[in-house]
Amino acid sequence: MPVSLKPAPLSFYEKRLRSLIRLLGPSEGLLVTSMTNVRYLSGFTGSSGFLLIAKAGMAFATDFRYKEQAGKEVSGWDIVMEKNRMDTLKRLSRRFGLKCLRFEPAVPYEFWGRLKALGLELRPARAAVERLREKKDSLEMDSIKEAVRRAESAFLDVLPYIRTGASEISIALRLEEALKKKGSNLIPFGIIVASGPNSAMPHARATERRLAPGDLVVVDWGGEAGGYFSDMTRTLLVKGPMAGKKREIYGIVLEAQRKAISAVSCGVPAREIDNSARDIIKRAGYGSFFGHGVGHGVGLEVHERPGISGKARGRIEEAMVFTIEPGIYVPGLGGVRIEDMVVVRKKGAGLLTTLPRGLKIVSPK
Ligand code: ZN
Ligand code: ZN
């Protein structure tokens, strides 16, 4: 049975907001227009609205379609109904005595142009809210763990159907159905079932191709709970030609993943986690077959901060949640990716995903 998750109590939102307000000057306002960030800070799950946060006050604005929903989901905010966003912003900025407005990185150029007409100084807010979202609190962890549980339980239900003759699409559809039955209202991304030569493409989608003897089969999927996502990958092998080579590749990826997981600890630069996996793959002679970063944050979005790649500049902090997903993709032969989710604890990585990581062999019948 899916666990029902309660919305976060007010105190969780207050904590998030306090950290943001601390960053603001006395006559500065933060305009939050990313709906993911609006949800993170207010609990509102609708698709239109904004937040204006300042030392002098805070307002949540949405339009009449969401009046009832906002009343239920949002508390502790001054709720404003907007007809014209610029008029509402002008009124609120005056009320809060703002001279400067900080805007989010993904603001469209057209909207930025209209903001300019407000006559306030405009400054980028950089990724202030996204940076807060990197570290998960206990309530977020409950949702993420449930999203993992739903994903894993759905996969186990579908496992018997992963066999020769089944098409990639039919497996993906069964998995999607199972995820919904487990309680995931949202499917975080198009499920990848990539078999045989298709598995050599890291971002392949499910096709009509049917599984055949000797196939490596990459399955990359995730679940959802309380708006939070999970993301994981397992690679299976259908008994058949070139099995030795494919087992060898699997072994290298697994060793690289173990190394990367054991490299996770508070204070370590994110790029070192990537390096530790990459070194193993390079030394085994497959360096040019591992083209993507080793991991990414997961939360209200499937891909969020922190990025765990060779280019990452940040350090790992306690309570961050991210994937570790090295892979080797050999055109013509096939690919292997193993993806798990970890949470950073004081003494290293805690694994959130629990399905066995050894190579699962499927007999061809
Ligand atoms: Zn994935
Ligand atoms: Zn991923």
Compute, in angstroms, the gap from residue 147 CA to the centroid of ligand 1: 13
Give me the residues near ligand 1 (ion), CB cutoff below 5 Å.
Answer: 220, 231, 339
Look at residue 364 in the predicted model and tell me its pLDDT.
78
Q: Which ligand lies nearest the alpha carbon of 220?
A: 1
- Dist. CA 257–CA 252, nearest whole Å: 9
Look at residue 4 in the predicted model and tell me its pLDDT.
60
Q: What is the pLDDT of residues 327-361, one digit of tens each?
A: 999 999 999 999 999 999 999 999 999 999 999 99
Compute, in angstroms, the gap from residue 296 CA to the centroid of ligand 2: 6
Confidence of residue 103 (pLDDT cuts 50, 70, 90): very high
Q: Which ligand lies nearest the alpha carbon of 222?
A: 1
Compute, in angstroms, the gap from residue 313 CA to the centroid of ligand 1: 22
Q: What is the pTM of this model?
A: 0.95
Q: Which ligand lies nearest the alpha carbon of 221?
A: 1
Look at residue 203 in the predicted model and tell me its pLDDT.
87
Look at residue 10 in the predicted model and tell me its pLDDT.
75
Contact 27, 99 (CB under 8 A): yes
Taken in order 261, 267, 270, 272, is the CA torsion positive or negative? negative
Q: Which ligand lies nearest the alpha carbon of 232?
A: 1
Confidence of residue 83 (pLDDT cuts 50, 70, 90): very high
Listed in sequence order, the residues at least 6 apart from 4 whose beta carbon sits closer than 8 Å to its beta carbon are none
Q: What is the pLDDT of residues 243-254, one digit of tens each?
A: 999 999 999 999
Look at residue 338 in the predicted model and tell me its pLDDT.
98
Compute, in angstroms, the gap from residue 17 CA to the centroid of ligand 1: 31
- Token pair 């209202």 is found at 185
- Dist. CA 116–CA 102, nearest whole Å: 12
Compute, in angstroms, the gap from residue 110 CA to the centroid of ligand 1: 33
> Is residue 3 scored above 70 in pLDDT?
no
Percent of the chain at pLDDT > 70 equals 98
Compute, in angstroms, the gap from residue 234 CA to the centroid of ligand 2: 11
Domains of the chain: 10-133 (3.40.350.10), 138-362 (3.90.230.10)
Look at residue 1 in the predicted model and tell me its pLDDT.
47
- Dist. CA 365–CA 347, nearest whole Å: 45
Compute, in angstroms, the gap from residue 331 CA to the centroid of ligand 2: 21
Compute, in angstroms, the gap from residue 279 CA to the centroid of ligand 1: 22
Tell me what the mean pLDDT of segment 120-132 comes to: 94
Q: Which residues pair with 334 in a beta bridge?
A: 330
Look at residue 11 in the predicted model and tell me its pLDDT.
85
Q: What is the pLDDT of residues 291-338, one digit of tens each?
A: 999 999 999 999 999 999 999 999 999 999 999 999 999 999 999 999
Compute, in angstroms, the gap from residue 339 CA to the centroid of ligand 1: 6
Compute, in angstroms, the gap from residue 23 CA to the centroid of ligand 2: 31
Mean residue pLDDT of the chain comes to 95
Which pair of tokens denotes residue 184?
Answer: 């995931």
Look at residue 56 in the predicted model and tell me its pLDDT.
93
Compute, in angstroms, the gap from residue 24 CA to the centroid of ligand 1: 36
Q: What is the pLDDT of residues 34-56, one digit of tens each?
A: 999 999 999 999 999 999 999 99
Compute, in angstroms, the gap from residue 324 CA to the centroid of ligand 2: 8
Look at residue 226 in the predicted model and tell me its pLDDT.
96
Q: Which ligand lies nearest the alpha carbon of 324?
A: 2
Look at residue 126 in the predicted model and tell me its pLDDT.
87
List the one residue out of 45, 49, 74 whose CA is nearest residue 63: 49
